[in-house]
Each structure stands twice: as C-alpha cells, then as structure tokens.
C-alpha cells in the first residue's frame, strides 16, 4: 500500500506506474488498476493506451469499461482513436462527445468515415450538431475547422460591471477563454478585452477603453498553417474568426494554434525521413510497412542512378582497386552536408524565415559554407589518402572531389526545397530523396571523373 500511496502522490506516467498498471492488468485487479489510472491526466492516459500492446489495451479497457471520455479521445493519436471509437458503446461515445467543445468534436470527426461521423452527429444536441456540421462544411485544414463556436462576446457599449454580471450569471461558458470579444449590432467584432483587464478595472469602465492592441481577425477560410503563423508571430492568445461578411463565427485559442505548429513540425520531420505524415508507436506492422515501403522503392530507383554512374567508370576502378574502398567517403559526407543544409532550409520555409526576399543571401551563405567545409574536409581526407595509400595524387583527387560535393550538397540542400515550394509542392515531401540522389551522383561522378583524368 505504501507503493500505491507514493504513486498517487505523483500522478505522472513514469516507468514505475506503467509497470504497475500492466501488473494490475495481468492480475485482472480492477480496483488497483482504477487507483493507478484515475489520477492520470487525460494526455497521460492517452499516452498509456498508445504505449501498451493491443492485447494489453483490450484487457485494460475490459477492466475499466468507463475509462474513455471526451478528453482522452481528443488526446489520442488518430489511428488509435478511430480503433477505439469503433469499439465504444454508442451511449458512452455520445456522452464523451457531449463533454467536448465544438473544435475538439470537429477534430475527432474529420478523421472518421461518413457513417461514423453521422452516428456521432446524431448523438449530439441539436445546437451542438448544427455548430459541428457548419464547421465541417469549411475546407479541411482551415480556420473554420480549427475554431470553436463557443465565444464569449459583449456589445461594444457595455461597461466592465455589465460584463462581469453577465459572466457570473451565464449558464454556459467555454471551459477556457481569455478574451471577451466586443461586437457591433451586425455581429462584427470590433475589439477584445482580456479577463485580467476586466477584473482589474472599475465597474463603470467601458470595455472600449481597455481593449488590447493585439486585436485582429482571421477569415474562416484561412489555412491553419497561416493561423498558427499569426499566433506565433504576433504573440496572440486567442483570435476571433469571421465569415465572408466579417461577422463573428468563432474563436481560435492558443492551444489549438500551437497544436498546429507542433503537427507541422512533426510532419516535416517525418516527411524528410520518408516515413509518411503521421506515425505512431501504436501503429501495427502493416501500417508501418504501408507508409515506408513506397519511399524505399523510390529510393531504390534513385540509387540506381548512382549505380549507373559507377558503371561508367568500371575500367578506372579495375585499374585502381583502392578507389572502390574510398569513394563512399565522398558520397556519404556529401549526403550529411546536404541533410544539414536541407533541414535548416525546410524549417526556415515552414516558419517563413526563408522567403524570396532573402533567398539570394541564404544561397550565398550556403555556397560559402559548403566551400569552406569542403576545403577543411579536403585537407583532412587528402592527407589521409596520401598517407594510407602512399600516392599524393589519390589524396589530391579525394580532396578535390570532397570540395565539389560539399558545395553541391550545400547548394542542393537550399535550392531543392526552394524550387519545390516555387512549384507549389511541399518542400519536405521529396527534398530528402532529391538531395540524397544529387550528392551521391555528384560524389561518385566527381571522384571517379577526377581519378580517370589525374590517375590514369
């Protein structure tokens, strides 16, 4: 019991608690399992369900059938959430949906197929269902999908006293809100005041006198990445969303905007690695194969280009066998340099730090960086090749090829994503494959070409 008391005092999901939970599941000890799981934050419960195996997850939910609620569903990874929704009793699922704000309901529904969406929509109250259906009518990945319909608003002529009386007597308010939005008679937002300013101002103060300078509105069709950029760039806490007539239709809060930023960064990282857009440790082997195999096949074809280049120099390699041992060094080091430049460029494009206005300066910086790095590596590799193989000409070839490939890698790492963006493609989606192919081909071509000219 002392261990249990200690676990309850620290309700975090650490290794000790996970082990205790799995032991309780194996022993079918529902009371102990409940004592271990119930203190956890919904995000920790979601992490727990994602970390355990599918059989362990089924046993856990069988022992705690009422565990899943709306907060946990909203925290779950998409693939696992869809799996659990299919198994939840309809009444429990409906109750879970009713607990959530409209933006969280939309976030869950948009990943489900039409029959599942309809079933959940029918379980909602009429007003909630209408709000969710309206949000789903907006384009995917837009402000309309991201916003919540629950907005705290007040007429622009109200005072602090009228506003606080309204807030105290309101039947339904969002669980979390930061601003009271002022609207004119046509429901157009004209400004907002923070709760802190409202609570610290005299009752007779008019709201229009304590408005925040950060006020701006977001059109309902704005892409969600632009929404996240605005929140990050202008340090927003919440922002009203307006329709085509500038009327207030919802509000986006900082937690949703930051979730978009996190998702964008994760997608870029996964795409650069060639493992798809969404990956979860809860994914099964077939889901993992499905996301990775296409990129491996694509890389198989691009690697064939390197093999073709090498085949053009078979006579050179046959005459100087030592070339086969050292040529991967040039290509591999070039690949690392290209990846470094690519990672910086893709992230800068995502955060809009790299634009057409400063692209020339960034390209020049990468060119100089590649040249200096190439010279440094060439000196080390050239001397090493001379000492190991006793041929200064081989060291010279290695050094020259290293300089060429480092320059190509640095330039390719920034020019490839810039070119893809100019074509309207995601810079993270295929840049890695292009840059790796470029550095491999140029590494082998420069090294073997120079060897053919200088050593034969």
The string of pLDDT tens digits covering residues 166-221 is: 999 988 888 788 999 999 999 999 999 999 999 999 999 999 999 999 899 999 99
The residue count of the chain comes to: 456
The CATH number assigned to the domain with range 285-455 reads 1.10.357.20
Residue of 145, 155, 168 whose CA lies nearest to 208? 155
Which of 90-99, 243-252, 299-308 is predicted most confidently?
A: 243-252
Q: What is the DSSP letter of 190?
A: E
Alpha helices (runs of H) in 215-352, residue ranges in sequence order = 224-234, 254-273, 285-311, 314-319, 322-350
Find the mean pLDDT for residues 353-377: 87
pLDDT at 215: 93
Find the mean pLDDT for residues 304-328: 85
pLDDT at 165: 94
* CB contact set of 54 (below 8 Å; sequence gap of 6+): 284
Burial 164-190 (b: 16+ CB within 10 A, else e): bebbeeeeeebeebbbbbbbeeeebbb
* pTM for this prediction: 0.64
Share of the chain above pLDDT 70, in %: 90
Three-class DSSP category at 403: helix
Q: Where are the domains of the chain?
A: 2-141, 153-269, 285-455
| pLDDT over threshold 50, residue 45 | yes
- 278: buried, middle or exposed (CB in 10 Å: 19+, 13-18, 0-12)? middle
Three-class DSSP category at 154: strand
- Of 3.40.980.10, 3.40.190.10, 3.40.50.460, 3.10.580.10, the CATH number of 153-269 is 3.10.580.10
**Cβ atoms of 408 and 439 closer than 8 Å:** yes
d(CA 406, CA 333): 8
Confidence of residue 272 (pLDDT cuts 50, 70, 90): low
The CATH number assigned to the domain with range 2-141 reads 1.25.60.10
pLDDT at 327: 84
Distance of CA 122 to the CA centre of its chain: 31
């Amino acid at each position: 019991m002392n261990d249990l008391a200690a676990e309850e005092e620290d309700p975090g999901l650490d290794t000790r608690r996970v082990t205790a939970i799995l032991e309780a599941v194996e022993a079918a000890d529902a009371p102990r399992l409940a004592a271990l799981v119930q203190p956890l934050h919904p995000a920790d419960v979601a992490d727990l369900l994602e970390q355990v195996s599918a059989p362990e997850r089924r046993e856990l939910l069988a022992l705690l059938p009422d565990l899943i609620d709306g907060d946990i569903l909203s925290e779950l990874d998409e693939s696992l959430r869809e799996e659990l929704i299919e198994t939840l009793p309809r009444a429990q699922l409906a109750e879970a949906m009713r607990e959530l704000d409209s933006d969280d309901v939309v976030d869950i529904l948009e990943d489900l197929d039409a029959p599942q969406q309809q079933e959940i929509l029918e379980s909602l109250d009429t007003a909630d269902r209408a709000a969710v259906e309206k949000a789903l009518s907006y384009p995917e990945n837009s402000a309309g999908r991201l916003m919540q319909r629950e907005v705290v608003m007040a007429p622009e002529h109200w005072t602090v006293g009228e506003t606080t009386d309204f807030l105290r007597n309101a039947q339904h308010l969002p669980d979390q809100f930061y601003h009271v939005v002022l609207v004119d008679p046509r429901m157009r937002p004209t400004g907002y005041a923070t709760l802190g300013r409202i609570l610290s101002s005299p009752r007779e103060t008019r709201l229009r006198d304590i408005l925040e300078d950060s006020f701006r509105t977001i059109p309902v069709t704005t892409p969600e990445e632009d929404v996240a950029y605005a929140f990050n760039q202008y340090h927003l806490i919440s922002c009203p969303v307006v329709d085509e007539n500038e009327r207030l239709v919802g509000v986006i809060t900082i937690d949703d905007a930051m979730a978009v930023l996190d998702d964008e960064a994760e997608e870029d990282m996964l795409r650069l690695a060639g493992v798809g857009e969404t990956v979860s440790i809860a994914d099964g082997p077939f889901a993992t194969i499905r996301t990775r195999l296409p990129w491996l096949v694509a890389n198989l074809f691009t690697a064939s280009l390197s093999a073709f280049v090498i085949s053009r120099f078979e006579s050179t390699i046959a005459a100087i066998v030592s070339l086969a041992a050292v040529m991967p060094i040039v290509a591999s080091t070039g690949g690392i340099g290209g990846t470094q430049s690519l990672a910086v460029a893709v992230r800068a494009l995502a955060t809009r730090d790299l634009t057409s206005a400063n692209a020339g300066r960034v390209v020049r910086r990468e060119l100089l960086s590649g040249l200096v790095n190439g010279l440094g590596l060439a000196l080390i590799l050239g001397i090493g090749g001379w000492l190991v193989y006793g041929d200064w000409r081989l060291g010279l070839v290695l050094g020259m090829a290293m300089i060429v490939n480092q320059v190509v890698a640095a330039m390719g790492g920034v020019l490839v994503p810039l070119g893809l963006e100019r074509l309207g493609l995601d810079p993270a989606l295929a840049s890695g494959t292009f840059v790796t192919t470029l550095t491999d081909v140029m590494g082998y071509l420069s090294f073997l070409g120079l060897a053919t000219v200088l050593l034969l």
